[in-house]
Amino acid sequence: MSQTEFSRAYGISKRALQEWEQGGRQPDSAARAYLTVISKEPVVVRRALAGEMS
């Protein structure tokens, strides 16, 4: 999945993703927790986010 796709799917800015991947900054504790949940249950997170937008 591209950064753009990930950004759209999970509501994280593309710039933040780029900075994290390039080592410019580290995600805060809430973002780290969210990324952990995404890594373990990506489909569940997408379903939850889709439900919030409906």
* pTM of full prediction above 0.75: yes
- Output the domain CATH number for residue 36: 1.10.260.40
Confirm if 17 and 6 have CB atoms less than 8 A apart.
yes
Query: What's the confidence (pLDDT) of residue 52?
Result: 65
Query: What's the confidence (pLDDT) of residue 51?
Result: 86
The count of structural domains within the chain is 1
Q: Range of 12's domain?
A: 3-53
Euclidean distance between CA atoms 11 and 20, whole angstroms: 15
Phi and psi angles of residue 22, each rounded to the nearest 5 degrees, phi first: -90, 0
Euclidean distance between CA atoms 42 and 38, whole angstroms: 5
pLDDT digits (tens, 9 = 90+) for 1-54: 999 999 999 999 999 999 999 999 999 999 999 999 999 999 999 999 998 654
